[in-house]
Amino acid sequence: MRVRLSWVLLMACAFVDAAPSVRSVHKVKETISPPSKWTRGDRAPSNAIIELRIALPQSNFAELERHLNEVSDPFHERYGQHLSKEEVDALITPHPDSVSLVDEWLALYGLRESNLARTASGDWIKVKIPISLAEEMLDTTYHVYTHSSGTTALRTTSYSLPEHLHDHIELVQPTTLFSTFKRQATTFHFDKEEKFTQAVNAPPINVPTASGGKVDASCNTTITISCLKQLYNAVGYVPSAKNGNKVAVTGYLEQFANLQDLQLFYADQRPDALNSSFTFVSVNGGLNNQTVADAGAEADLDTQFAFGLTHPIPATFFSTAGRPPFIPDIGETQNTNEPYLDWLDFILNERNPPQTISTSYADDEQTVPKSFAQRACNGFATLGARGVSLTFSSGDGGVGDGDPDPATQQCFTNDGTNRTEFIPGFPPSCPFVTAVGGTIHIPETAVFFSGGGFSNVFPRPEFQNPAVPNFLKKLPKGTFAGLFNPNGRAFPDVSAQADNFKIFFQGTPGLIGGTSASAPTFAGFVALLNDARIKAGLPTLGFLNPLIYAIGATHPTAFNDITTGNNPGCGTEGFNATVGWDAVTGWGTPNFGRLKDLVTGKFR
């Protein structure tokens, strides 16, 4: 929405007049090194409008995490006893002292309750103000930064807060956040129709763990809903449309899910689903335009396969508006925050969110300030405590998911030292989401682009012991020394097929690949498992990772272990898939039949 320049100037003057005459003593809150691939330009226009997000400390997140661990541990007596929205909100509501002190500080600059927007629990405050006022409040200077891709953002590399507020404000953004939030690098290509059917008359492939022990030969070149159900032992399972189970995918960056494409897909692969659809939910003004040209390959892939696998489970497509880059037009108000924080605000305020949600968008972890990553990750934990399973694609750059140098294919750190290092992605590196890697072909092998590695922000969670140390012991001594953090949260957790998916895009069939395919695929099977649990009178699965690692350790045949392939990147061959958990395919791909028996019985 365009704002009249005269109004902006008047508002800026009003804010300046209301500012305190004596500056409070400020102390630096956060400083980062100038990020690579971003070039600093002119000072930001002083009367451009920016929306600041102010994070207040969540009063008892440690207690929430304790609850999350207990209700997610299949060996704990509280397993499955998810918290209510009210119980979660009570644990993350800021302490009254923090609220009071921050409100007093904002009031010094003329910012009253009518100027503010708060999340349901009050742990985030949002306010739209001129850049000049943001600079005064944060004792900083904003500049126009331009990324090598051509996108721009209004950012700073350091900001300060009054010293007495440091314990009452965790972070303020957008300030030091230089992320390039993007959908995973799906590849889409058209093939002659005969490629889709060239193997139809070939004998089936013997796969002992598949439904009936065989998979159609055509699945080796073209993945369909039928292929996935055969391969992952789910043929014949019929979910309910009316037991309260729901599944969803998220859409960002103007990726729209086309309804005509969905019907073409259903006619081709799920004729029983014809004339059914999903519920569209707009977040922060998100759209779902339906012209042919507006169809998004990512959105089409996510909705067609997640919802094709789970029909007739009620399905939702969330479209969230906003992009991190800010085009510095003085008269334009834009959302400059990470869109998935807007989505988190929305979904955490929902009383009955879908129990399974898949996302195929991410940042490079090193472009996300640690404070921001931790706070966003806490939001994912909050959803898990309420019984929501979150899957994220693990990335499409192998161990070098951070946009390697095109000439050398080397990956460099973003901290000013320019060290060579593997680049993990975020949110896949958050321990409270399930990261899904990729496989290809039948028998399955790791697909070369499967993102995997180790976080530089989040330590290894307890549920990853001893699986991850066992993997590290298998690495030849000195392998990749200094290139990754062996004590970090390791990912992916699991995997699924990730290439040659047949979708319909802008009215035409084609093949698409990426872990953008594996994440909604795995989510689809999670939704089916939730259906089976509800039918058995049990709660939904919620936060998956403790269960996944417990199953991997005690019932490994519930996953199809992938032991071949690797994920090259950063000028290296990357990690190798191996027996048990590995940093290419996690525990492997799902065996739905065996998982269903485990999660509907007494897990021991």
The DSSP letter of residue 417 is S
Residues paired with 282 in a beta bridge: 319
> Are the C-beta atoms of 589 and 562 separated by less than 8 Å?
yes
The DSSP letter of residue 506 is T
Cβ-count burial of 294 within 10 angstroms (0-12 exposed, 13-18 middle, 19+ buried)?
middle
Nearest to 316 by CA among 383, 245, 372: 245
Please give the sequence-ordered ranges of beta strands (E in DSSP) within 525-590, or none if there are none: 559-560, 589-590
Residues paired with 118 in a beta bridge: 125
Nearest to 397 by CA among 407, 388, 405: 405
Residues 305, 519: Cα–Cα separation, whole Å: 10
Please give the sequence-ordered ranges of beta strands (E in DSSP) within 354-473, or none if there are none: 356-359, 361-364, 389-393, 425-426, 434-440, 445-446, 453-459
> Which residues, including other chains, have CB under 8 Å from residue 590's CB and lie 6 or more apart?
232, 494, 496, 522, 525, 558, 559, 560
Strand order in the sheet with 508-513: 187-189, 508-513, 501-505
**Which residue among 298, 363, 396, 421 is the active-site one?**
298
How much of the chain is in helix, strand and coil states, percent to nearest 5? Answer: 30, 25, 45
Residues 124, 119: Cα–Cα separation, whole Å: 6
**Which residue among 59, 319, 516, 518 is the active-site one?**
516
Rg of the chain's alpha carbons, rounded to an integer?
24
- Note if 65 is an active site residue: no
Please give the sequence-ordered ranges of beta strands (E in DSSP) within 453-500, or none if there are none: 453-459, 488-491, 494-497
Residues paired with 569 in a beta bridge: 572
Amino acid residing at 287: L
- Note if 518 is an active site residue: no
- Note if 298 is an active site residue: yes
285 torsion bin: left (phi>0), alpha (psi -120 to 50), beta (else): left
> Are the C-beta atoms of 207 and 231 separated by less than 8 Å?
yes
**Which residue among 73, 261, 302, 444 is the active-site one?**
302
List the catalytic residues.
298, 302, 516
